[in-house]
Structure 1
Amino acid sequence: MNRLTARDLLDLVIDAGTWESWDTPPIPVATDSDYAEALLRAQEKTGLDESVLTGSASVRGRRVAIIVCEFGFLGGSIGVAAGERLVVAIRRATQEQLPLLALPTSGGTRMQEGTTAFLQMVKITAALIKHKEAHLPYIVYLRNPTTGGVFASWGSLGHVTIAEPGALVGFLGPRVFEALYNSPFPVGVQTAENLHEHGLIDAVRPPDQLAEIVDRALRIITSRRRGYSLPSDPCSYDCPPDTSAWESVVASRREDRPGIREVLLNSASDMLPLNGTGQGENDPGIMLALVRFGDMPCVLLGQDRRGQTAHSPLGPGALREARRGMRLAAELDLPLVTIIDTAGAALSKEAEEGGLAGEIARCIADMISLEVPTISLLLGQGTGGGALALIPADRVLAARHGWLSPLPPEGASAIMFHDITHAPEMAAGQGIRSFDLLTGGIVDRVIPEFPDAADESAAFCTRVGAVLHYELSVLSATDATERLITRTERIDRIGLVEASTAV
């Protein structure tokens, strides 16, 4: 693999002529003669004074703070001087309210400086925490190689993390592993592609595509509407005549019913898909993305029913990925939209041992306590704990044939009648359909289907997007304290409201 120098990579990513270096001469560190000679050789080889460059530049017209490693300088290793340079740059980015782009490639911390170099990772992480507490975006591009303390600190904290194709990425360098354990590290584990498959990296893209990804991410994250002039209500008309609960259950299970991917394809004005929990899990039953509906940005997490099968039901990993989305919304100060469309969470030994119940509980707790605006949409089936985990929100919407139930109606029938033939009766009696939820004050709005979303897929999805745009606009214009009080009150009213006039 051809390795780009730090300057070559900057030339690919930033707008020409916009680089402003923030670097000052490296702080002095204690060196013996061998180390001093190694530093001198590295400086002569690279034309740089340390293993990192810092500064700001424009990427597609947006000013961004950048920290970038040079592998040719002692393997991109981080010592005290490099660590201090990174910390100063991160703090300046925070002070100037700039998004931060990190471009690491490193063998880790600098062995010549020992423990003090190792502990630079703590200093760098502390500076990054302050940057993220200021709700500023942090984007990471992992280059070949990125290992050791760099990967185990600032290389793994991005809101969005991309990696170079074929890059060696891992905690323990293969050469170190072989020396310690007298055997080679398993082939193919520490590759960008394998880490993407396991949900640790959002995407694997070549360097020449990085500017577009950074531009798209910042276009969504930093999009802030001014004045919040509300669009007209796209669904102020009444829904079509009522239908039975069982008709909605059947409609929600149609193979050709549009799901989350069709909604995004037809209604999102911008989208950047993300991937996995960042902790080694990637569940096909959940989709996580940065999205704009109209001019309103949000973090979107939703259940993809086509990714949920008998062999791959919605498991605890999916809920951990959902919780990553909730954290992203909080850190980036973006509204959160959840889309519910699930036949139910996994019922298995693996799900129990993987902590499914605990993840449902933690999702509920996170949803209740999030300070950003939240919207939940019952797009189709809303069965059991998998649906419950994503339902608490400031505004709860439902498609006409969306429904919410502790079990599928067949399961409720089996409990009550020891058969499944009473499923339609149970669906009617449990009040699961969208109109029952509206009357009970659980749902705030029903989105029409004419007569069924599967029969008007594009039109229905466009309608959903318009409603989400409107509701996001309303919530974003609402005083935050008032909104949180209202959220608490709506939770307290569950089961106590006899009627609702919301449409």
Structure 2
Amino acid sequence: MSAAQLGSRRITAAGLLETVLDAGSFSSWDQPVQHTGIGARYAAELEAAELKSGVDESVLTGEGLIRGRRVAVIVSEFRFLAGSIGQAATERIIAAIERATAAGLPLLAGPASGGTRMQEGTLAFLGMVAITDAVRRHKEAGFPYLVYLRNPTTGGVMASWGSLGHMTVAEPGALLGFLGPRVYESLTGTPFPPGVQVAENLYRKGLIDAVVAPEELPDIIDRALRILIPSAKPGGAPIPETVNAVPGTASAWESVLLSRNPRRPDLRMLLAAGAADALPLNGTGQGENDPGLSLALARFGRQSCIVLGHQRPRHADAPAMGPASLREARRAMQLAEELQLPLLTVIDTAGAALSQEAEEGGLAGEIARSLNELIGLRAPSVSVLLGQGTGGGALALLPADRIIAAEHSWLSPLPPEGASAILHRSVEFAPRIAAEQGVDVGSLWRIGLVDHVVDERPDAADEPREFCARMGLAIEHELALVCAAPAAERLERRRAKFRRLGR
């Protein structure tokens, strides 16, 4: 897509506010801009920009309603000096962020900018640090920061407040990048490769969560905020009644075989049939998008959470979970801590990737870092053993305050066939090895790992929606339980649980 085609789709600040906010709900927070000590040429440029755009600076701030919910907004106006950010715009942005934080409001940013304002030089450039600090403090206070990247967003804006969202979506076809293509060509003498700095490519690379047309944004924001700001605060919702089943009588090997049924409910089905709502996120936000793990905002009954889970491959030749997956896992953990929501991990993996790329990408170290983060996570946590639980790929998502297990799930350092090959140089002893190693839910229950069993009647593959509904209720129950516990007590119990297993 050419720059001309991109430019023809540019939406103004007023147009975005009109599209996203409930009719007539916008209230401006902006104070008149004062430019002092500037030269005549720059003053003339500012005056011309105001006449062209109809606004007094490159950003508008204020608050409005989205589906009846109060939301603070910061929106760029590209027609004002290409949406560039100078000192006055910096002060306006920071004031709005601080006001949103003080009022406890979620914040929606809609940048469209060429970056910092060249007419103001280094001082404008340094303003990105102060804006970043304001965003950081807003997020540390536990309030959502959502970003809608518009066409174009480049330079210092993309390298600061444009890239810090809890959830980041972008306008279709938007030009997004660190260095604008015109500047790149001027500096290097060659044109920038086409198709790189486009929203759809950034989505494929795991840098943004979705590509969304402006008219679709109100629904996305509404769904996200219903999850991120639940009507019942964590620990305040009632703990629903559910059935904690007794582990079944199937052998460990029978459970292993049942868990491998391709028709067995996976994470996709669990979110579709067991959650009240789920909004997928995408990638690490750092240029990696590994299909081995999925990340979502979700609500089970009245309990909101961040979901991180193994995504069972649809095809046998699909890549297994690699190191990038576990870097995405750390994004989920950070979201849970910043948004003060519980983390739900879902385990269903035949094992992590076995490849040169996985080794050179630091898979073992990523597993270690995931264990380190999860065992000390300040946020409440629940883990679900949904199906297969093989090796370090499963262990990496296991540490949690409470652990739920589907009746025919299992957990083992290797597939039973692999353990049999090590011990007997043959896979024929796999059934016996599975029993001896205690991989099944009954054994995991007896050693104190599993806290809650969801029964299968008799196989989840035969009743997928009903099973997912039961699992969803169990998840809601356990999320409410862990959220009700004091943080220090919860963390100590989590550590003690894994210290005392089998004793």
Q: Name the TM-score class by shorter chain.
A: over 0.9
Structure 1 residues 185 and 33 mapped into 2: Cα distance closer, same or farther (>3 Å)?
same
Cα distance in 1 for residues equivalent to 2:107 and 2:120? 27
Cα distance in 2 for residues equivalent to 1:494 and 1:135? 34
Q: Give the 3-state SS of the residue equivalent to 2:230 in structure 1.
A: coil
The Cα of 1:361 is off from its aligned counterpart by: 0.8
The Cα of 1:313 is off from its aligned counterpart by: 1.1
> In the alignment, which of 235, 238, 246 is matched to residue 238 of structure 1?
246
Matched, 1:13 2:20: yes
> In the alignment, which of 205, 214, 218 is matched to residue 221 of structure 2?
214
The Cα of 1:481 is off from its aligned counterpart by: 2.0
Given residue 395 of structure 1, which amino acid in structure 2 is its aligned partner?
A: R
Residue of structure 1 equivalent to 2:5:
none
The Cα of 1:228 is off from its aligned counterpart by: 3.6
The Cα of 1:30 is off from its aligned counterpart by: 3.5
> In the alignment, which of 87, 91, 104 is matched to residue 84 of structure 1?
91
Residue of structure 1 equivalent to 2:359:
352
Residue of structure 1 equivalent to 2:122:
115
The Cα of 1:311 is off from its aligned counterpart by: 4.3
The Cα of 1:446 is off from its aligned counterpart by: 1.6
The Cα of 1:231 is off from its aligned counterpart by: 4.2
Q: Is the Cα contact below 8 Å between 2:244 and 2:454 reproduced in 1?
A: no
Q: Give the 3-state SS of the residue equivalent to 2:382 in structure 1.
A: strand
Residue of structure 2 equivalent to 1:500:
none
The Cα of 1:251 is off from its aligned counterpart by: 0.4
Residue of structure 2 equivalent to 1:448:
455
Q: Which is further off, 307-316 or 123-132?
A: 307-316
Q: Is the Cα contact below 8 Å between 1:284 and 1:308 reproduced in 2?
A: no
Given residue 469 of structure 1, which amino acid in structure 2 is its aligned partner?
A: E
**How many aligned positions are there?**
495
Counting only pairs closer than 5 Å after superposition, residues 310-321 of structure 1 correspond to structure 2 as: 310-321=317-328
Counting only pairs closer than 5 Å after superposition, residues 368-387 of structure 1 correspond to structure 2 as: 368-387=375-394
Matched, 1:404 2:388: no
Cα distance in 2 for residues equivalent to 1:152 and 1:228? 38
Q: Is the Cα contact below 8 Å between 1:69 and 1:76 reproduced in 2?
A: yes
Matched, 1:467 2:451: no
Matched, 1:389 2:400: no
Cα distance in 2 for residues equivalent to 1:278 and 1:412? 37
Q: CA RMSD in A?
A: 1.3
Q: Is the Cα contact below 8 Å between 1:271 and 1:289 reproduced in 2?
A: yes
Q: Is the Cα contact below 8 Å between 2:245 and 2:454 reproduced in 1?
A: no
> In the alignment, which of 140, 147, 164 is matched to residue 140 of structure 1?
147
> In the alignment, which of 490, 494, 502 is matched to residue 501 of structure 2?
494
Matched, 1:179 2:186: yes
Moved over 3 A (4+): 226-232, 236-239, 307-311
Q: Is the Cα contact below 8 Å between 1:286 and 1:307 reproduced in 2?
A: no
Q: Give the 3-state SS of the residue equivalent to 2:290 in structure 1.
A: coil
Cα distance in 2 for residues equivalent to 1:127 and 1:473? 32
Residue of structure 2 equivalent to 1:61:
68
Q: Is the Cα contact below 8 Å between 1:285 and 1:308 reproduced in 2?
A: no
Q: Give the 3-state SS of the residue equivalent to 1:421 in structure 2.
A: helix
Cα distance in 2 for residues equivalent to 1:248 and 1:329? 32
**What is the identity percentage for the equivalent residue pairs of Structure 1 and Structure 2?**
58
The Cα of 1:284 is off from its aligned counterpart by: 1.4
Matched, 1:483 2:490: yes
Residue of structure 2 equivalent to 1:72:
79
Given residue 325 of structure 1, which amino acid in structure 2 is its aligned partner?
A: A
Q: Give the 3-state SS of the residue equivalent to 2:282 in structure 1.
A: coil
> In the alignment, which of 319, 323, 327 is matched to residue 330 of structure 2?
323
Q: Is the Cα contact below 8 Å between 2:155 and 2:178 reproduced in 1?
A: yes
Q: Give the 3-state SS of the residue equivalent to 2:146 in structure 1.
A: strand
Cα distance in 2 for residues equivalent to 1:413 and 1:236? 33
Residue of structure 2 equivalent to 1:433:
440
Gaps of 5+ in 2: 1-7
The Cα of 1:492 is off from its aligned counterpart by: 1.6
